[in-house]
Amino acid sequence: MKKFPFVALIILTFLAEASFCFFFIYKMGDTEQDALAVNECVKSVGDNFGNEEKYSDILFYTVVDLDGTVLYKNAEGLSASVNEAIKRRDTILDVTSDGEVIGKILIHNDIEAKIRTAKKGLAITIALFSALQLLLVLGYYLYLRKTIIEPFHKMNEFAIRVAGGDLDIPLEVDKKHVFGSFTEAFDLMRSELKKAKIAEKQANDEKKETIAKLSHDIKTPVASIKSSSEIGYELAGDNKSKEYFHLINEKADQITTLTDNLFHSAIHEITEISVSPSRQSSDCISKLIKNADYLGKAGAFDIPKCDVFIDKLRLQQAFDNLFMNSYKYAGTEIEVSAALEEEYLIISVRDFGPGVSSNELPLLKEKYKRGSNTAEKEGAGLGLYLTDYFLNAMNGKLKLESKDGFTAIVSIRRAE
């Protein structure tokens, strides 16, 4: 803006306009006659009264006698009487000869013509300076549009593209306009974001590769455990030992499935873990709970007979998470109860530990949220989040209560 002194030009035009306006306003108020010219006309008429050829003609005037009769006019449209001259603001003077008044001279005072001329000059001045100021404002607008508005629109469009993830098209940098350095900084930001995005993708790809290798490495010893448990099951001499080996075999299958899920969850968001519920008998739920309660903390319980809408693997994970939390944070006996309520099979899993505060309770189903009393315990804050996710995907619900211990109420949708 230093190259275009708009403010200085505007001030100059206003000052010039004001000067011309004052001049023409002054001209409109200037109605005085030229005293020398008036005196010359009066003297020439007085000295040569009756000899009209010798009258001065430097001004327009009318000569009348003492009776008001017009004796002489040197132009048309002049006052023809003293009264008319008074109305027109003409100069009225006595004509004397040898000290005696012999008539009057009515010198024409063209006030209206002067006012019209001054008004015309004033109007032309205002029009010309207004046009000049309009051109200055228009020129300055074009300058602002080129140096500020258009670059700002470009940066706005650029920001929208960057927000949408388009980091490939650079922003044109023109250091001459006001936002020159700012534009350069914007494009530098795009470049750094693109580098960060590439680095993030590389890190994610390396993480996926690492998890794929780990899942393969985990499956190998699990397969050995499964094979050994199958052999142990066949060689076991009593039913109790066979039951233990069968449990080991089932847990090995569960670890294999969860390892596959680990691989897929590294590629996709955790909320994309597939849940495939189907019609099942509630008889299987007792076994899922007993598998989860591998320490045998839960006493006897009965599950009402009905058909339910569940994914057995995901429901097993849900109960595993609930019992693991009780083992970790309570360490007490666990009470399991079940009942049918309308369209749900309600299963309550309660421990007798310290529980959590009432203001923290609603947050426990969120990702990575844990109670304040769990700081010394290992955990990621995903157990209840996943349990709630699995149950919702099976059209069920999870409700948490903390009174005289901690209670997880699992509502499983009954199949129609």
Q: What is the CATH number of the domain that holds 360?
A: 3.30.565.10
Give the pLDDT of residue 278.
93
**pLDDT grade, residue 265 (50/70/90)?**
low
Give the pLDDT of residue 414.
94
Would the pLDDT of 44 be above 80?
A: yes
Would the pLDDT of 269 be above 60?
A: no
Mean pLDDT over each residue of the chain, to the nearest integer: 81
Highest mean pLDDT among 48-52, 183-187, 270-274, 367-371: 48-52
In a domain, 64, yes or no: yes
In a domain, 388, yes or no: yes
In a domain, 209, yes or no: no
In a domain, 9, yes or no: no
In a domain, 57, yes or no: yes
Would the pLDDT of 171 be above 90?
A: no
CA torsion through residues 243, 248, 254, 257, sign: negative
In a domain, 257, yes or no: no
In a domain, 177, yes or no: no
In a domain, 158, yes or no: no
Angle between helix 6-29 and helix 111-144 axes, rounded to 10 deg: 170
Phi, psi of 59 (to 5 degrees): -130, 165
Name which residue leads in pLDDT, 359 or 374: 359
Name which residue leads in pLDDT, 165 or 19: 19
Buried b (16+ CB within 10 A) or exposed e, 66-101: eeeeebebbeeebbeeeeebeeeebbebebbeeeee
Spell out the residues 6+ positions from residue 333 whose beta carbon is closer than 8 angstroms to its own: 297, 298, 299, 351, 352
Quote the domain boundaries for residue 301: 275-413
Alpha carbon of 149 to those of 141, 142, 144, 157: distances in Å?
10, 9, 6, 12
Give the pLDDT of residue 253.
81
Q: How many CA atoms lie within 13 A of 122 on its CB side?
A: 15
CB 251 within 8 A of CB 192: no
Give the pLDDT of residue 216.
54
Residue type, 137: V
Highest mean pLDDT among 131-135, 160-164, 396-400: 396-400
Q: Which of 91, 108, 125 is the last residue of a domain?
A: 108
Count how many domains the chain has.
2
**pLDDT grade, residue 1 (50/70/90)?**
very low
Would the pLDDT of 122 be above 80?
A: no
Span 186-205, pLDDT tens digits: 677 777 877 887 787 777 76
Would the pLDDT of 151 be above 80?
A: no
Q: What is the pTM of this model?
A: 0.44
CA 190 to chain centre: 19
> Cα separation of 137 and 6, whole Å?
8
Q: Which of 61, 77, 108 is the last residue of a domain?
A: 108
Q: Which of 75, 108, 141 is the last residue of a domain?
A: 108
